Amino acid sequence: DGGITQSPKYLFRKEGQNVTLSCEQNLNHDAMYWYRQDPGQGLRLIYYSQIVNDFQKGDIAEGYSVSREKKESFPLTVTSAQKNPTAFYLCASSMGQFGRTQYFGPGTRLLVL
Amino acid sequence: DAKTTQPPSMDCAEGRAANLPCNHSTISGNEYVYWYRQIHSQGPQYIIHGLKNNETNEMASLIITEDRKSSTLILPHATLRDTAVYYCIVPPPNNAGNMLTFGGGTRLMVKP
């Protein structure tokens, strides 16, 4: 069963804590993306990766970090520098460098305690 | 990016066709029109895309005007499960990064 999985579905962060959101795909896609969505808003790009061991900042990368050590995995760390992390985080993947048909995971909702 | 304009919300009766319009008057010749939808609390789902010709797949039809300045997404027989926010996107052709800009979209409410 091919697709994108994200875990956990809900995540709670304490002040000053780093948390890592998981994203895994078995679609053999080259490119992967992280988006943030605030209530009632559209999606904003945080980071993207077109190939293993390479990634680029999106529009709102401050306070976030990523790694791409394996083709199928693209974890996102929300660091303590991100002052307003409460949001819905979506991971996506696409074939090729300019693939615009993106397949999205179910999302992780991050809440700050 | 070519800017897109969509109505913020629409209603449709269950079983009827839902016609969702999108204006993209600044679109250039090699830019595609993409449609995605997002059901509440889920990730967006790709629906269809097109360049010039009308397109149809198992989910929907896409009608693009001859001048390409507007398009219409058609759900031929809307069901309650089609209630979602529908996004019309025109990504720049060679922008690898910020290639999908999700704006406000149209909130479609399918009613029994």
- The beta strands (E) that lie in A14-107 are given as 19-25, 31-37, 43-51, 54-57, 64-66, 76-78, 87-94, 103-104
Residue B111's pLDDT is what? Answer: 96
Residue A113's pLDDT is what? Answer: 81
Confidence of residue B21 (pLDDT cuts 50, 70, 90): very high
**CA distance readout (Å), B6 to A24, B72, B87:** 33, 10, 8
**pLDDT reading at B14 higher than 90:** yes
Q: Which residue of B has its CA nearest to A107?
A: B43
Task: Select from B56, B57, B112, B61 the least CA-distant residue to B83.
Answer: B112
**Closest in B41, B43, B96 to A105, CB measured:** B43
Residue A99's pLDDT is what? Answer: 65
Q: Summarize pLDDT for B45-89 with one digit per residue, the tens.
A: 999 999 998 999 999 999 999 999 999 999 999 999 999 999 999
Residue A95's pLDDT is what? Answer: 84
**Closest in B34, B42, B43 to A100, CB measured:** B34
Task: Select from A101, A77, A89 the least CA-distant residue to A29.
Answer: A101
Residue A47's pLDDT is what? Answer: 95
Confidence of residue A98 (pLDDT cuts 50, 70, 90): low
Q: Summarize pLDDT for A3-36 with one digit per residue, the tens.
A: 999 999 999 988 889 999 999 999 999 999 999 9
Q: What is the DSSP letter of A27?
A: S
* Residue A63 backbone class (left: φ over 0; alpha: ψ -120 to 50; beta: rest): left
Arithmetic mean of pLDDT over chain A: 91
Residue B112's pLDDT is what? Answer: 95
Q: Summarize pLDDT for A36-78 with one digit per residue, the tens.
A: 999 888 899 999 998 999 999 998 999 999 999 999 999 999 9
Q: Which residue of B has its CA nearest to A39?
A: B41
Residue A41's pLDDT is what? Answer: 86
User: Is there a contact between A42 and B99 if contact means CB atoms under 8 Å apart?
Assistant: no
CA B97 to the chain's CA centroid: 21
Residue B101's pLDDT is what? Answer: 79
Residue B35's pLDDT is what? Answer: 96
Place of tokens 């897109």: B4
User: Is there a contact between B44 and A98 if contact means CB atoms under 8 Å apart?
Assistant: no
